């Protein structure tokens, strides 16, 4: 079964607005990774956040991690049409394999 669960499953916003996606997981982790996937294509690595980190930034992306709540969030600021994609969180429990959620489908409307 999937370890991570993203919320919401689908999100539609206007260009320029901020998009927030959440991820919850069940077991202790070494790190959590966020990926973007455009329709029918491979996964693009966005950010890795380790269990001893609480927040990381990369450009317009901000990721937080709350290990006490077993949750993470991905914030995309000033969204663009090109941000339209599915976003996945994946947890690494130290077993070298990533366990993915079902993803959030983000649509940015012009």
Q: How many residues bind other proteins (CB under 8 A)?
A: 25
Instruction: Please report, in angstroms and rounded to a whole number, the separation of the first and last CA atoms in the chain.
Output: 36
Full DSSP string of the chain: --S-EEE-SEEEEETTS-EEEEEE-SS--SEEEEEEE-TTS-EEEEEEEETT--EEEETTEEEEEETTTTEEEEEE-S--GGG-EEEEEEEE-SSS-EEE---EEEEEE-
Q: How far is the CB of 100 from other proteins (least distance, A)?
A: 3
CA distance 47 to 97: 17
Nearer CB in complex with other proteins: 75/100: 100
Q: How far is the CB of 69 from other proteins (least distance, A)?
A: 21
Question: Which member of 11, 26, 93, 100 binds other proteins (CB under 8 A)?
Answer: 100
Site string for other proteins, 31-70 (x = CB under 8 A): x-x-x----xxxxxx--x----------------------
Question: Which member of 7, 15, 53, 92 binds other proteins (CB under 8 A)?
Answer: 92
Contacting residues toward other proteins, per CB under 8 A:
2, 4, 30-31, 33, 35, 40-45, 48, 88, 90, 92, 95-103
């Amino acid at each position: 079964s999937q370890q991570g669960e993203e919320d919401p499953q689908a999100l539609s916003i206007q260009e320029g607005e901020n998009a927030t996606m959440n991820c919850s997981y069940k077991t202790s982790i070494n790190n959590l990774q966020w990926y973007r996937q455009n329709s029918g294509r491979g996964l693009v690595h966005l950010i890795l956040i380790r269990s001893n980190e609480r927040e990381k930034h990369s450009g317009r992306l901000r990721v937080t991690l709350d290990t006490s709540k077993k949750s993470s969030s991905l914030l995309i600021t000033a969204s663009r049409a090109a941000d339209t994609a599915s976003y996945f969180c994946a947890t690494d429990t130290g077993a070298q394999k990533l366990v993915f959620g079902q993803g959030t489908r983000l649509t940015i409307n012009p």
